[in-house]
Amino acid sequence: MELDPGAPLLKRSAKKRRPMLPSNTSVVTPKTFDQLFSEEAQIAEFATPAEAELYEKLDSLLIHLIRTVVTRHFGSEESKQPHIGEDWWPNYTRYLDTNTAQFQVDFLTDLH
């Protein structure tokens, strides 16, 4: 099976995406956060095992690309890098745990 990163795997919502760095923020309860997060999440549902396999391959590629950007910005010493979450969440997202020194515009822009 050939990888085509441009191939649509999920039906995209017509809803306009929020900017990566919002101009304002709100402090909310964990329950409200979970609700807002769920509203933004796109759950992958596959029609065939082949589609699921392709998604897994592209997900592995995503982890590789994230690690490439992290290494470029913070070096290869793991203790200086943000933690890269590799768990499959129910909504198929990835996360990074960063400290304030790592949470910089140039790093976030490269990830985008």
Query: pLDDT tens across 48-100, in order?
Result: 999 889 888 888 888 898 999 999 999 999 999 999 887 665 455 678 889 99
Looking at the DSSP bridge assignments, the partners of residue 96 are 84
Instruction: Enter the pTM of the model.
Output: 0.54
Q: What is the mean pLDDT of the chain?
A: 79
Per the CB < 8 A criterion, the answer to whether 81 and 98 are in contact is: no
| pLDDT of 20 | 64
| pLDDT of 75 | 94
| pLDDT of 67 | 92
Spacing of C-alpha 102 from chain mean position: 17
Sign of CA dihedral 28, 30, 39, 102: positive
